[in-house]
Structure 1
């Protein structure tokens, strides 16, 4: 029963109490008005970054569609020239 008062157990209890105190203080800091301003700023920056990435992705997709269309035209022209060459023979 008196094991509770041993130095090791008191140290563990003290560490636990300190952890609870720091955890409570941490929650208060994270939920403060200043922290909310930081969260808002970070979220706004993330949204701006998302918009930039989406614009770039759209541009790349449009360029890929143009390249595909031009490649199809090149192949059609080549096939037509090949067919004309076969007819001449």
Structure 2
């Protein structure tokens, strides 16, 4: 009968018993009124932190919207300036073409009159 007791690994049995004991005590500790107060205070702190983070996120989003609108405005102004510059170049090119045509017609008229 004593032989079977010598074959038992008492270290493993002790670990199991202590785990069970700490588990039972742990459950009671986690369910105690003090623990519930701790959970309530931690939850309240998390909610306050969430509120602060959400306020910061809202501020960042508003600033991002302002920056985005400003960037769109700058791009629109650049596009308008580019279109105006192209229009001015085209008008200048047309004026030069008209001047050359007028000079050629005037030169031909002078030649015909001289003949």
* TM-based fold match above 0.5: yes
Change in 2 beyond 3 A, CA 1:40/1:3: farther
Residue 73 of structure 2 aligns to a residue whose secondary structure is: helix
Which deviations, in whole Å up to 9, do the C-alpha atoms of 1:3-26 show, x marking residues without a partner? Answer: 541175233222211221111011
RMSD: 1.8
Whole-angstrom distance in 2 between the partners of 1:23 and 1:54: 38
Gaps of 5+ in 1: none
Q: 1:35-46 maps to which residues of 2 (within 5 A)?
A: 35-46=35-46
Q: Is the 8 A contact 1:4 1:10 kept in 2?
A: no
Tell me which residue corresponds to 2:50. Answer: 50
Q: 1:74-89 maps to which residues of 2 (within 5 A)?
A: 74-89=74-89
Tell me which residue corresponds to 2:32. Answer: 32
- By relative contact order (CA 8 Å, sep 6+), the higher-ranking structure is 1
Residue 85 of structure 1 aligns to a residue whose secondary structure is: helix
Larger radius of gyration: 2
Tell me which residue corresponds to 2:14. Answer: 14
TM-score normalised according to structure 1 size:
0.88
Aligned residues: 89
